[in-house]
Amino acid sequence: MSDEMIGYTGGVLLEGGSDTTAAFLQWLILCLTAFPEVQNRAHKDIDQIVGSDRSPRIEDFDSLPYIGAIIKEVHRFRPVLPTGIPHAAMADEVILNAMNLLWAFEFKPAKDSLTGIPVPVDVGAMEDGILCTPKPFRCDIRPRSQEHADIIRSDFLEAKPIFRQFELE
């Protein structure tokens, strides 16, 4: 295989991985919005282990079996890829993203701008294609507290130098 083909193959694999992670996170947010009782229990569990003075770390995952169950259930309920296409189900990236979203934010149905009534989300509405993604949906995403918002901001500022190396000049 030529260097050019190796480069293209690597790019395709990277893009495929990022697409499946993004699709999984869309399903996770949709399900958390649709099933607030699951979100509430997850918040209680993550608060007991992580607290509100730091964001989750991958080492916390083993102490969060309910979060693991949510991740597995979203994969089962709405698999991103059709059966038969190989993919990793529980990459550290997915686990950490899911834990951080659950720790940091509260997801609620968006409210109708005229009536103020919450607009339910449809967990059965999917886009056509090989990648299983939800149709666009509206939801209200807010930090769980000012402390959470401050830590999100602090973590972002700490990571900024890492992101800077990937910016185009």
The first and second tokens of residue 41, run together, are: 């229990």
pLDDT on residue 81: 65
How confident is the model at residue 90, as a pLDDT? 54
Residue 119 is part of which domain span? 3-164
**Separation between Cα atoms, residue 47 and residue 17, nearest integer Å:** 30
Domain count, the chain: 1
**Nearest to 68, CA basis, from 108, 109, 102:** 102
Residue 100 lies in a domain: yes
Predicted TM-score (pTM) of this structure:
0.82
Q: Which pLDDT value is given to residue 78?
A: 81
Predicted pLDDT of residue 116? 95
Model pLDDT for residues 47-92, shown as the tens digit of each residue? 999 999 999 999 999 999 999 999 999 988 887 766 544 455 457 8
In this prediction, residue 137 carries a pLDDT of: 95
Spatial separation of the C-alpha atoms in residues 48 and 61, rounded to whole Å:
13
- CATH number for the domain spanning 16: value is 1.10.630.10
Is 169 domain-assigned? no
From the first residue on, what is the mean pLDDT of each consecutive set of 10 residues in the chain (169 residues)?
48 50 92 97 97 95 96 87 52 90 97 95 89 92 96 93 82
